[in-house]
Amino acid sequence: MSLRLGDKAPDFTADSSLGQINLYEYLGDGWGVLFSHPADYTPVCTTELGRTAALQDEFAKRNTKVLALSVDSAESHRSWIKDINETQHVDVQFPIIADEDRKIAEAYDMIHPNASVNATVRSLFIIGPDKAIKLIITYPASTGRNFVEILRVIDSLQLTAYHSVATPADWKDGEDVVVVPAIKTEDIPAKFPKGFTEIKPYLRLTPQPNK
Ligand code: BEZ
């Protein structure tokens, strides 16, 4: 059965471009992004891993560690990283997992046989400090992902984990947020001292509480 939000991320120990890695040990108490790509030495994947490397500091600021994965070998990953660094002008420091026996791909349902019987699709999982899965997205091989959007989701997840708010459409860090319906309007001033705007009884906005 495929994984759903809130499920525990399956732990694994596997070879990678940086040697053997255990997922839970690697993540420690922080957040994680585990994402698969169809294959090494392919054009869209090269840009995706390059973009992720360019954003390494942004992930680190969010206490988030990144792991890429495909069914290619660790040796292939290490050689391909040289190309990524050269062509995308980056320094890939995160591990690329070598899932040659596809055990991890199967545990995370990253192989979609109607798309490809022998390669992972572009799956991405955000994993919280409790090791629960917080986000799942799946893109086809033909569409490279937007990694700024992944950072935006991490910002939302880290904010909403600690405050009774949700983030509206296209929200970006620093913008107003929505007070969750569970909070009664009369209780908002005590909980949100920065004030609030009631647009409708069910739509109450407040400045981002942790800014
Ligand atoms: C790519 O990463 O460029 C790619 C991989 C598999 C199929 C199509 C494109």
- pLDDT tens digit string along 36-46? 999 999 999 99
Average pLDDT, the chain: 97
Ligand 1 centre to CA of 205 (Å) is 42
**Does residue 116's CB lie within 6 angstroms of at least one atom of ligand 1?**
no
pLDDT digits (tens, 9 = 90+) for 164-187: 999 999 999 999 999 999 999 999
Q: Which atom of ligand 1 is nearest to the CA of 39?
A: 5
Q: What are the residues facing 165 on neighbouring strands?
A: 179
Residue owning the nearest CA to atom 1 of ligand 1: 44
Judge if pTM exceeds 0.85: yes
pLDDT digits (tens, 9 = 90+) for 68-86: 999 999 999 999 999 999 9
pLDDT digits (tens, 9 = 90+) for 46-66: 999 999 999 999 999 999 999
Residue 105: CB atoms within 10 Å = 21
- Give yes or no for residue 1 having a pLDDT over 80: no
Active site residues: 45
Ligand 1 centre to CA of 117 (Å) is 14
pLDDT digits (tens, 9 = 90+) for 160-170: 999 999 999 99
Q: Does the fold of domain 163-206 match that of domain 13-145?
A: no
Residue 191 tokens, joined: 């909980």
pLDDT digits (tens, 9 = 90+) for 120-160: 999 999 999 999 999 999 999 999 999 999 999 999 999 99
Domain boundary assignment for the chain: 13-145, 163-206
What pLDDT, on the 0 to 100 scale, is given for residue 136? Answer: 98
Q: Which atom of ligand 1 is nearest to the CA of 37?
A: 2
Which numeric CATH code is attached to 13-145? 3.40.30.10
Classify 163-206 by CATH class. Answer: alpha beta
What pLDDT, on the 0 to 100 scale, is given for residue 40? Answer: 98
